[in-house]
Copies of this chain bind each other. A is one copy, B any other.
Amino acid sequence: MSSTDVYPVSERNKARRMRDRASYDVAAVHALLDSAMLCHIAYLVEGQPYCTPTLFWRRGNQVIWHGSVGSRMLREHAKGIDVCLTVTHLDSFVLTRSAFAHSVNYRSAMLFGKAHLIEDPEEKRLAARDLLDTFFPGRSDLVVPPAPLEVKQASFLKMEIEQASLKVRALPASFETPEYRHTPVWAGQIPIETRALPPVPCETLNEAAANADDIVLYREGGRLDATLAKIRKDHPLEP
């Protein structure tokens, strides 16, 4: 799956509405994933759908997430079941003068594939490192490594992205029927941003670590999507 490809389109991932907002471009989907850390995963347990929030990251065309062996989700996913993994950024309220034209601007990717438990010990060791390094490059070499029992308690799941769709809406409030333009009601956008604030050290911080490099990109705060995208661009996890 190279970055010039598009994901195959079928009934499963084809946009039903607002088709002009949809894309199946691999590079665009990967870029959205790389700007995020939280996803929601839909899966089935005995006929009941569940929607579970979790941290995730991308390695090549795989997405990987983490959880405890005891969890409901992981027990089911280990069987290689169908899941839908969705990542959403809400970017603004769009307030228009017409009730019907109100909207939100957003970016969202919906991924389809089968989730599998990572069972190979070496692959699992790598996933445990990635879980830190994908957010704080190099950190897995600095911290106290997991004990054998801790490794045993942890589980990681991986999903090859079989299909995906990306939807982006980025339109101004003036994208409404022109006849309403001068109605005396407020119109415009209220931007919404998710930010990482400057790090707050633990009370028992060892002074030798006060200026640690692994969190340097978070020191000034700023948009979380931009910070994550920069980290993933500078430190890509190769397939």
Contact = CB atoms under 8 A, between A and B. Distances in A.
A90 B208 contact: no
Given A41-B51, A99-B140, A100-B154, A16 B188 contact: no
Contact of A86 (B16, B52, B174): B52
Contact of A68 (B17, B38, B85, B150): B17
A124 interface: no
A9 interface: no
Contacts of A136: 95
A83 interface: yes
A195 to B, nearest CB: 6
Interface of A: 12, 16-18, 37-38, 40-44, 47-53, 55, 68, 70-72, 82-86, 88, 90, 93, 95-100, 102, 104, 106, 108, 110, 112, 128, 131-132, 135-136, 139-140, 142-147, 150, 154, 172-174, 180-206, 208-210, 212, 214-215, 218, 224
B52 A49 contact: no
Given A42-B49, A88-B40, A189 B195 contact: no
A33 to B, nearest CB: 14
Given A42-B43, A88-B53, A197 B187 contact: no
B48 A99 contact: no
Given A43-B42, A193-B195, A197-B192, A100 B52 contact: no
Given A38-B88, A49-B84, A190-B200, 5 more contacts: A42-B43, A43-B49, A48-B84, A100-B150, A192-B224
A174 B51 CA distance: 31
Given A37-B90, A189-B200, A193-B194, A132 B99 contact: yes
A164 to B, nearest CB: 12
Contacts of A83: 49
A206 B188 contact: no
Nearest to A194: B194
Contacts of A190: 196-200, 215, 218
Given A53-B108, A215-B190, A185 B100 contact: no
Contact of A186 (B17, B68, B199): B199
